[in-house]
Chains A and B, each alone.
Chain A
Amino acid sequence: AVNGMIKYEEVVIDNCCMMFVKNPALFDVLVMPNLYGDNISDLCAGLVGAATLVRGIALAEAVYGSAPDIAGKNMGFECLFHEKFGKSNCFTAEWCSMLRHLNLHDKADLIQNAILNTIAEGKYQTADLGGKAKTIEFTNAIIDHL
C-alpha cells in the first residue's frame, strides 16, 4: 500500500548541503546512496551538536533481497560516532532503539528520558558537548536519573 500523503522531492547533493546548513528545517526524511549518506549524517550530527547525540540503525536485508525481515534475523545496530568521540551517550541511545524494536517501549522510554534529563541538567557533560565529565561520571549520572 502506498501512502499518497508523503511528499517526495529530489535535490542535488551540493544544493542539499548548502540548504542544510542554512535551514535544516526544510528537510524531513532523506534517502541517499552510501557516500552522500556518510557525509550528510555527519553534517547533521555537527549541526545538532555532537556525533554522540545521533543514533542510527542499519537493517541488513534478508538473503534474497526482499524488504528487511524484522522477525529477528540479520539485524545490526550501528552507532554513528566519530573516532574521537564515541562516548557512552551514543551507545545507550542505541540500546533504546533496539529495545523499541523488541517492543520494550517502556524500558526504552525510561532510558531515553534519563539521557535527556542528564543532558538538560548540564552538570555532567562529556568533552564533545562542551563539558569535562568522564564517561563513567556521565554514565553514573544517567543511572541516577533512572
Chain B
Amino acid sequence: MTTARSIIPLLNRLISRSQPSRSVTYMHRPGDGSPRPVTLIPGDGVGPLVTDAVEQVMEAMHAPVYFEKFEVHGTMKKFPEEVLDSIRKNKVCIKGGLATPMGGGVNSLNVYLRKELDLYASLVNCFNMRGLPTRHENVDIVVIRENTEGEYAGLEHEVVPGVVESLKVITKFCSERIASYAFEYAYLNNRKKVTAVHKANIMKLADGLFLEACREVAQKYPAIQYNEIIVDNCCMQLVSKPEQFDVMVTPNLYGNLVANTAAGICGGTGVMPGGNVGAEHAVFEQGASAGNVGKDSIVAQKTANPVALLLSSAMMLRHLQFPAFADRLETAVQKVILQGKVRTKDLGGSSTTQEVVDAVIDALD
C-alpha cells in the first residue's frame, strides 16, 4: 500500500515539471489594477508578527493592495466603531487573533466581529503540503462552519448558584444559508462531495433542523454527493481515514473542533489558511484556532509561523480578483515548505518568522 501511495505524488511532481504551466488568463476590466484598500488588524500576541509578514510580502510582490492599519486588542470593552466603518467601506479585512480572556463574562471580540458583520461562513482549507509529511496523505478538506449561532449564541445565565444554562440556538435561516454556501463552494471549486456533521441522535431538534436544511439544499445540486456523519464518529474518521472527506459543512461548535482536528492532521494551525465571509464582507485570518494568539515565548522569540496568514492572504488576493498574485504567493510559500530548510518550531525547525518571510520573498518569481 505504501509504494503505490508514494508513487502518485512523485508522478504528479514529474508531470508538473515536464509540462509548462499555462499562465493565468485573467482578462480584467480597465482600472482593475488600481490598488485596493484592505483593513489590517494586527491583533494580539503573535498577530502583529504574522500580519507584518503579510505586509512585507505584499510589498515585495508590489501587489495592488494597500493596508489601513488599526490597533484592536482583546482587552478592549468594545470593538472600535472606526474599525468597523473601515471594514464596511473596504469590504475586505485581514487580521491577527484577538486574545479572549477566559471566563469572566467578557465576550470574544473575534466572535463579536463575525456577528456584527454577519460573516456567517467560516472556511478552513486543510491539505497536505508537499515537503511536510504527516501521518496521512492525499488530504484536502475544506471545513465550512456556521459562524453566527449555535453554541456560540452567547446566551448563558445562572439559574441558581451552581447551575448554569447555556442556550444553543439553531435556526432554519442560518442553517440554510450555510448549507447553500457549502454547496456553492463545492460547485465553484469543482469539489465532489459535501458531508454534514451533526449530533442529531442526541440533539434531535437542533441538529435535526440543521440536517433538514442541508438535505433541502443538497437536492438543488444533484451532481454533488451528499452524506451525513455524527460528530464523534467524524472525529474518529478524521484521524484514521481523512482522505474520505472533501467539503464538510457543520454547525458552529462542531466546526470549531473538526477544523482544528483537520488542521492538526495536516501540519497544524500554523499552516492552514482560512477566513470568514458573509454577504457583504470578508475577513481573512489564520484558518483554525484563529483566536489563539500563541504563547508568550513565541512572541518574545519571534518564532510564530506566518505561513497560515500568508496563505490566507493569497486567498484574499484571489477574492479581490488578483489571481496571478495569489498564485505567485502560494507557489513561493509551497516552495519554501517543500525545501524544508527554513521552518518555524511548530513544523520541526528552528527559524524565526523573519527568516521564513525572507525565504518566501526570495522564492517569489
Asked if A22 contacts B199 (CB within 8 A), the reply is no
Asked if B239 contacts A43 (CB within 8 A), the reply is yes
Q: Which of A17-47 contact B (CB under 8 A)?
A: 17-22, 35-36, 38-43, 45-47
Q: Given the known inter-chain contacts A18-B268, A18-B288, A38-B232, please indicate yes or no for A46 contacting B260, CB distance below 8 A.
A: no
With CB as the reference atom, state the residue of chain B lying closest to A47.
Answer: B239
Interface of A is mostly: helix
Which of A13, A41, A46 is the one whose CB lies under 8 Å from B240?
A: A46
Q: Give bound CA distance, A36 to B292, whole Å.
A: 19
Contact with A along B204-230 (1 / 0, CB 8 A): 000000000000000000000000000
Which of A13, A15, A42, A47 is the one whose CB lies under 8 Å from B233?
A: A42
Q: Is A9 in contact with chain B by the CB < 8 A criterion?
A: no
Q: Is A100 in contact with chain B by the CB < 8 A criterion?
A: no
* Minimum distance in angstroms from A86 CB to a CB of chain B: 13
Q: Give bound CA distance, A17 to B120, whole Å.
A: 23
Asked if A39 contacts B260 (CB within 8 A), the reply is no
Q: Give bound CA distance, A20 to B257, whole Å.
A: 11
Q: Is A144 in contact with chain B by the CB < 8 A criterion?
A: no
Q: Is A96 in contact with chain B by the CB < 8 A criterion?
A: no
Asked if B261 contacts A10 (CB within 8 A), the reply is no
B292 proximity list for chain A (CB < 8 A): 12, 14-15
Asked if B288 contacts A82 (CB within 8 A), the reply is no
Q: Is A142 in contact with chain B by the CB < 8 A criterion?
A: no
Q: Is A111 in contact with chain B by the CB < 8 A criterion?
A: no
Q: Is B321 in contact with chain A by the CB < 8 A criterion?
A: no
Q: Is A51 in contact with chain B by the CB < 8 A criterion?
A: yes
With CB as the reference atom, state the residue of chain B lying closest to A24.
Answer: B239
Asked if A46 contacts B268 (CB within 8 A), the reply is no
Q: Give bound CA distance, A17 to B254, whole Å.
A: 11
Asked if A39 contacts B264 (CB within 8 A), the reply is no
Residues of B with Cβ closer than 8 Å to A?
Answer: 102, 199, 231-233, 235-240, 253, 256-257, 259-261, 263-265, 268-269, 288-289, 292
